[in-house]
Structure 1
Amino acid sequence: MGKVRIGIIGTGYIGNVHARIFAKDERAEISALYDIIHEKAEKTSRAVGGKVCRSREELFENCDAVLVCTPNKTHVEIAVDALGHEKHVFCEKPFAVGLESAKVLLEKAQNSKCKFQVGHNRRYAPVYVKLKEILQSDKPHSAHIKMNRGELKNPAWTGDPSITGGFLYETTIHLFDMIRFQFGEISELVAYGSQHEYPELDEFSIIFKFKNGFHCTFASSSDASWLFPFERMEVFFHHRTVLTQEMEHLIDSNGMDANFETFSWAMLEKEEKWGYAQEDKAFIDAILEDKEPPVTAFDGYKSVEIVESVYKAIRLGEKIVFY
């Protein structure tokens, strides 16, 4: 196989992030672009190349792999269509909105001969890779996790649940995937939510229990502030605390005194610091080496399951048990 021909559907912010990365990969080329706002695709093409297509069908005719970088609620329909055209698929998070549509896409992806990868980029971020290394050599007891935003106004659609599927799908799902990646499968959860600033539940407090006995608290606010770090994991061990600060730093305090060691990735380019470059490389690796991508359709499905379970727990006022 020669260069992997990449087609990108949706040339907004994240579509352009991926476009710039793939344009630098000698094993790939940007071959086709499609956006319902034609001018946006033309602008991307001027920067990274690629044929500007007038339809999805035209894009499918000019690529080997499709990146789904469109609004959340369109992901399933586009990804299923791409798989039907026998294209490898990289689907930005969320994998789907709602469990029923997630089940449809999961079945299609698992029955396809093509590769399917979900864009949970934080798994590749060096700060979380380092945390994973620590967890493999020491056993944690519990954790406190925070995933906040300062607002849902920029861009405006982030505050529109008819587009996002809800706040948990837009932002919090990143760390829902991360806790499963770091700590294992969830056994049960209880959740509380309230509505303050936006026309949906926008404040959440959750307690997770995992099948291995680990447990954690999880807070997520849509309108707290952008105070650093808006995203944080504090993991507690025997006489040890490991603290992450967004994708910038990891602080490891090991022992019975106040000493600590700091690991920093602050000087990395954002594409590498946030894991975008690594996940895109992994997608091309999976295609060329005919292997399973690191973040599978099943992983994407499980993140949707967590979101829906939190909403259900709040709606019913009951503990949710995972079987």
Structure 2
Amino acid sequence: MDKIKVAVIGCGAIAQRRHIPEYASNPNVELVAFADPVIERAQLMAETYGGSSYASFEELLANEKVDAVSVCTPNYLHAPMTVAAANAGAHVLVEKPMASSEEEAQQMIEAARRSGVYLMVGHNQRLMPPHVKAKEILESGRLGKVLTFRTSFGHPGPEGWSVDGRDSWFFRKDEAVMGAMGDLGVHKSDFIRYLLNDEVAEIAGFVGTIHKEGTDVDDNAVCILRMKSGAIGTLVASWTQYKGGDNSTVLWCEHGVIKIGTVDGDEVIVEKTDGGVETYKVGAMATNEKQVPSGVIDAFVESIVTQTPPTISGEEGLRSLKVILAAFKSEAAGQTIKL
């Protein structure tokens, strides 16, 4: 079969560390083009991996016939770029949060539907081995219903991750739209929906800028969630976990507790109310320091090759985004928001 011709739009940290190397190592893919307003970044990727470089995505789409595109740009550009790529007949993998608003997300979903292409959102938490294992354990039913939970994602902030450091777009509200919630919180709203196979019914959000100076995007959020099933729990997103970042989830169930990512080396721990303890070493979760394959790129390529719609679809991305948008509404209104 012919290789899938892929273009990457935006050549910052997530593209350099995840998308591009993972495409390069996929035997079904040929990387053909890169775009970045800082043309040197696109040129460096083209020199390293082959293909052409462009300073704008419009130019790239006008000059290249591509089968698929990764959109790895500041949040406010996700929607216009996704719509343009879909209109050009390309499948799109977009970074999270998929859009800045519900309306934008709907436009993206509609554009993909109209063109008969796939839209996938880069919610990699679902694909991490400890999370896959935990879902399998839950679905076996042996722990009964999930009653309460906490899920958390925190690190010291984008300045250590972004190619632009403290000058990153992550800190500029007109480009980022949202801070830690768009960066980390939306991963966890997606993950808890997936893990519990449930939707958020109601949310109370405390969202604010506590410590990062010179920015008006949120650097911390603590949210209380009530799920449709009745389970209640917390969701935390933080850019100020300067020592010991957190990417853990704990579920208290009728017959025991599941701890995910709480102990290094034992990625999933099940402690049963009858005294039994099980530990699973299933492989680490990806962190900014330790890039294990995210699984997202391979899943996207697999969808295209097998002509199977992606499970982490635009619709799924929108459901996870709605939770985060509701948390901002809750903060602004000082009350719980029903979804």
Same-fold status (TM-score > 0.5) = yes
The 1:193/1:66 distance shift into structure 2, 3 A limit, reads: closer
SS in 2 for 1:141: strand
Q: Return the alpha-carbon distance in structure 2 between the equivalents of residues 321 and 315 of structure 1.
A: 14
Kept after mapping to 2: 8 A contact 1:313/1:320: yes
- The residue type equivalent to 2:51 in the other structure is G
Residue in structure 2 matched with residue 189 of structure 1 by the alignment:
203
Alignment partner for residue 223 of structure 1, among 215, 240, 247? 240
Closer/same/farther in 2, CA of residues 181 and 275 from structure 1, 3 Å limit: farther
Task: Write the distance in 2 (CA, Å) between the matches of 1:99 and 1:148.
Answer: 25
Per-residue CA distance 1:148-179 (angstroms, 9 max, x = gap): 22234333223332222112112211111111
For 2:239 and 2:289, how far apart are their aligned partners in 1? 24
Gaps of 5+ in 1: none
- Of the three residues 103, 116, 120, the one matched with 2:119 is 116
User: Which one of the candidate residues 132, 146, 157 is aligned to 2:152?
Assistant: 146
Aligned mates of 1:19, 1:47 — CA distance in 2: 10
5 Å-filtered alignment, 1:258-269, equals 259-266=277-284
Change (3 A) 1:122 1:54: same
Secondary structure in 2 matching 1:231: coil
Question: Percent identity of the aligned residues?
Answer: 26
Cα distance change on mapping 1:15 and 1:268 into 2, 3 Å: closer
| Structure 1 residues 91-102: aligned runs within 5 Å | 91-102=94-105
- Structure 1 residues 109, 62: closer, same or farther in 2, change over 3 A? closer
Deviation digits for residues 175-201 of structure 1 (CA, Å, limit 9, x no counterpart): 111111112111111222343213344
- Seen in structure 2, the aligned counterparts of structure 1 residues 266 and 202 have a Cα distance that, compared at 3 Å, is closer
Q: Matches of 2:44 and 2:291 in 1, distance apart?
A: 26
8 A contact 2:177–2:217 mirrored in 1: no
Q: Is the 8 A contact 2:186 2:324 kept in 1?
A: yes
Using a 3 Å threshold, how does the CA distance of structure 1 residues 267 and 311 change in structure 2: closer, same or farther? closer
Q: Which amino acid aligns with 1:282?
A: A
- Matched with 1:312 is 329
Q: CA deviation at 1:83?
A: 0.9
CA–CA distance in structure 1, aligned partners of residues 117 and 285 of structure 2? 36
Q: Note if contact 1:22-1:30 (Cα within 8 Å) is conserved in structure 2.
A: yes
TM-score norm. by structure 1 comes to 0.90
Does the CA-based 8 Å contact 2:220-2:238 persist in structure 1? yes
TM norm structure 2: 0.86
**Where in structure 2 are the equivalents of 1:127-166 lying within 5 Å?**
127-138=130-141, 139-154=145-160, 155-156=165-166, 157=168, 158-166=170-178
Q: 1:204, CA displacement in angstroms?
A: 2.2
Structure 1 pair 107/271, CA: closer, same or farther in 2 (3 Å)?
farther
8 Å Cα contact 1:124/1:275 also seen in 2: no
Q: CA contact under 8 A between 1:115 and 1:293: conserved in structure 2?
A: yes
Aligned counterparts of 2:276 and 2:335: Cα–Cα separation in 1 = 40
Shift of 1:218: 2.0
Q: How far apart, in 1, do the equivalents of 2:85 and 2:60 lie?
A: 10
Question: Residue 291 of structure 1 aligns with which residue?
Answer: 308
2:126 alignment partner, SS class:
helix
Q: Which AA in structure 2 matches 1:149?
A: H
Find the counterpart in structure 1 of residue 2 from structure 2: 2
Provide the rounded CA distance (Å) in 2 between the counterparts of 1:307 and 1:268: 22
Provide the aligned C-alpha RMSD in A.
2.5
Distance 1:262 1:25, change over 3 A: closer
| Matched residue count | 320
